[in-house]
Structure 1
Amino acid sequence: MSAALATNTFPAATLAVTNPWASRSLTLPSLGNLDAYISAVNRMPMLTLEEEQSAGRRLRDDNDIDAAGQLVMSHLRLVVSIARQYLGYGLPHGDLIQEGNVGLMKAVKRFDPEQGVRLVSYAMHWIKAEIHEYVLKNWRMVKMATTKAQRKLFFNLRSKKQGFRSEALDGDTHREAFSDGEVEIVARELKVKPEEVREMETRMSGGDVVLDPSPSDDGEERFGPIAFLADATHEPSAMIESAQRDVLATEGIANAMGELDDRSRRIVTERWLKVNDDGSGGMTLHELAAEYGVSAERVRQIEVAAMKKMRKALAEFA
């Protein structure tokens, strides 16, 4: 079933689905498609409370695969219904159903009939969770929502915008962006900052852009947006600034260190300029204090005075 959904087609001949709890069978046309699948699952019989609890106990206690099949097959229509709610993200309906079916199977595996909750209520969380994860991974190349608050904002922003547009009194129902007042309302309702609402709206309104397109079919080279991006590393002022930094980092630092006495130079070197092979720095304040026979606070004072003198020397050098 999963392979069929992935391509929105079904195997040749017939797909026979045997109903183990009612001795019924369901066949699909030899050239079936997603519509045929949806029609088929909508004809699958629903389980009564007693049948559902009985199947759940057999699966839990005896690992009965037929019982798992009953629970999954009778709730496939629920997956179709939930997946339809996410068609606005531009992803294939069959893929949404496929991911929802994965969530349904996870719910069936964890379902406990003794909790007093029907599987339809328990499975909705797992189905939506799998679909949410699929949407976030495939809607854009760059992942957009990483925190719980961002994920909630992502999946509520579209419905909030549609609600505002339907309530618009000025007739401007085609306005895309949120107004400042609407941003404040959304941020307050979803418990996020207004800046996060504006940022998510901007990211959702844009699309993926191929910076470096592949060659055309006739072999001619095509130019993409990357060909028109400025190279800041070769901008004249940036090159001059980089050269000045290099001079300050070499000759300037050497000149400033020459203004210090031996002890101050040693402290600055250990505290700021020394890097060991393992990536660690030089000596700590306490280690230097023990070496010179003074307190750590005195070493800190010497370091502050030395850095002040070096900044003055660097300013004069520049």
Structure 2
Amino acid sequence: MTNPSQSLALSNTALTAAISNPGALGTIEAYIAAVNRLPVLSAEQETELGKRLRDAADLDAARELILSHLRLVVSISRQYLGYGLAHADLIQEGNIGLMKAVKRFDPDRGVRLVSFAVHWIKAEIHEYIVRNWRMVKIATTKAQRKLFFNLRRMRPDGQTLDPAQVDAIARELNVRPEDVSEMEVRLTGRELALEAPQDDEDAFAPVSYLSDDGMQEPSNVLERRAADALQGPGLGKALEMLDARSRRIVEARWLQDDGGATLHELAAEYGVSAERIRQIEAAAFKKMRAALAG
């Protein structure tokens, strides 16, 4: 029978593997439940582990420090669920920040790891959100990032800001009023797919009206050039690969302006059956396709 200490070791082993992939335990709920069962370190234990990591590069000490603070990452990540990103992904990025904090942790400064790690965890989550929230990056400067993560909270009831509110937010965040207005527009702008959904043929998407008729799309240009080549020099070269009878049949059937000859008309001309003309035609096409492909 497995004793409690062995169970904790097994749990820690599984969690260690799940740090980079919170979904590895099955569900995010299972991960959070396992994290919340881990014991919290005392200040003395934390200091001892920090010194072992700093002085002896003890990876087991680093693992214990990380595992004991995984619940902190879960707690912080919940604050960013409103951005439409998966909770597991937010936790994963926060865990990266926690690992960076543990690597830089100095136990002699008298600061608990929890206080030191908050900055690194939030920094990684912020970077992930800005990088993935939209295809078009909306927060590229320090001021824009500050507005991105604060403006939603500061907008009263999500309503459009009036000039006085814009000025008040700008003063509080120490940014320019025009930066506040610009970020408000970018945050409230409705996203629109470039192409219509595949299951909605009647949808009128931007791709239908944003194209410039005066500019030829590159793939269409190449396709047209290839078609011209096949109908001109390419076709002539392919016909030259045929014997006289096969070439006559192809030209009579398919290269005439008046609709071309029928199988029976060519069968009478060569004194064979219509089926034999069809076989010769098929063999000719096979040779021509090979010539055109080459």
Question: Taking structure 2 as the reference length, what is the TM-score of the superposition?
Answer: 0.62
Counterparts of 2:86 and 2:12, CA distance in 1: 28
Query: Which residue matches 1:77?
Result: 71
Counterparts of 2:114 and 2:153, CA distance in 1: 24
* Aligned equivalent of 2:130, options 113, 122, 136: 136
The alpha-carbon distance between structure 1 residues 88 and 214, as it changes in their structure 2 partners (threshold 3 A), is closer
The alpha-carbon distance between structure 1 residues 194 and 82, as it changes in their structure 2 partners (threshold 3 A), is same
* Aligned equivalent of 1:201, options 184, 191, 214: 184
Structure 1 position 155 matched with structure 2 position 138: no
Structure 1 position 182 matched with structure 2 position 173: no
The offset of 1:49, in angstroms, is 0.7
Query: Which residue matches 1:229?
Result: 210
More helix by share: 2
The offset of 1:204, in angstroms, is 0.7
The offset of 1:212, in angstroms, is 3.2
Counterparts of 2:189 and 2:145, CA distance in 1: 17
The alpha-carbon distance between structure 1 residues 221 and 114, as it changes in their structure 2 partners (threshold 3 A), is same
Moved more, 90-99 or 207-216: 207-216
Counterparts of 1:158 and 1:228, CA distance in 2: 33
Question: Taking structure 1 as the reference length, what is the TM-score of the superposition?
Answer: 0.57
Q: Give unpaired runs (5+ residues) of structure 2.
A: 1-8, 14-23, 216-294
User: Do 1:216 and 1:222's aligned partners in 2 also have CA atoms closer than 8 Å?
Assistant: no
**CA-to-aligned-CA distance 1:241-284 (integer Å, 9 cap, x gap):** xxxxxxxxxxxxxxxxxxxxxxxxxxxxxxxxxxxxxxxxxxxx
How many residue pairs are counted as aligned between the two chains? 198
Q: Which has the larger radius of gyration?
A: 2
The letter of the residue matching 1:197 is V
The alpha-carbon distance between structure 1 residues 32 and 54, as it changes in their structure 2 partners (threshold 3 A), is same
The offset of 1:158, in angstroms, is 0.9
- Structural RMSD (CA): 2.6
The offset of 1:63, in angstroms, is 1.1
The alpha-carbon distance between structure 1 residues 31 and 129, as it changes in their structure 2 partners (threshold 3 A), is closer
Counterparts of 1:185 and 1:42, CA distance in 2: 40
Moved more, 147-156 or 123-132: 147-156
Query: Which residue matches 2:96?
Result: 102
The offset of 1:98, in angstroms, is 0.6
The letter of the residue matching 2:172 is E
The letter of the residue matching 1:142 is V
Structure 1 position 49 matched with structure 2 position 43: yes
Structure 1 position 37 matched with structure 2 position 20: no
The offset of 1:206, in angstroms, is 1.9
The letter of the residue matching 1:119 is L
The alpha-carbon distance between structure 1 residues 207 and 95, as it changes in their structure 2 partners (threshold 3 A), is farther
The offset of 1:47, in angstroms, is 0.5
The alpha-carbon distance between structure 1 residues 233 and 32, as it changes in their structure 2 partners (threshold 3 A), is closer
User: Do 1:140 and 1:208's aligned partners in 2 also have CA atoms closer than 8 Å?
Assistant: no
**CA-to-aligned-CA distance 1:111-144 (integer Å, 9 cap, x gap):** 1111111100000000000000000011111111
Counterparts of 1:228 and 1:38, CA distance in 2: 48
User: Do 1:55 and 1:67's aligned partners in 2 also have CA atoms closer than 8 Å?
Assistant: yes
The offset of 1:82, in angstroms, is 0.3
The offset of 1:232, in angstroms, is 9.1
Counterparts of 2:30 and 2:198, CA distance in 1: 40
Counterparts of 2:202 and 2:163, CA distance in 1: 45
The alpha-carbon distance between structure 1 residues 177 and 32, as it changes in their structure 2 partners (threshold 3 A), is same
User: Do 2:143 and 2:179's aligned partners in 1 also have CA atoms closer than 8 Å?
Assistant: no
Paired-residue identity, %: 59
Counterparts of 2:12 and 2:174, CA distance in 1: 48
Query: Which residue matches 1:301?
Result: none
Query: Which residue matches 1:7?
Result: none
The offset of 1:159, in angstroms, is 1.1
**CA-to-aligned-CA distance 1:74-112 (integer Å, 9 cap, x gap):** 000000000000011111111101100010001101111
User: Do 1:141 and 1:208's aligned partners in 2 also have CA atoms closer than 8 Å?
Assistant: no
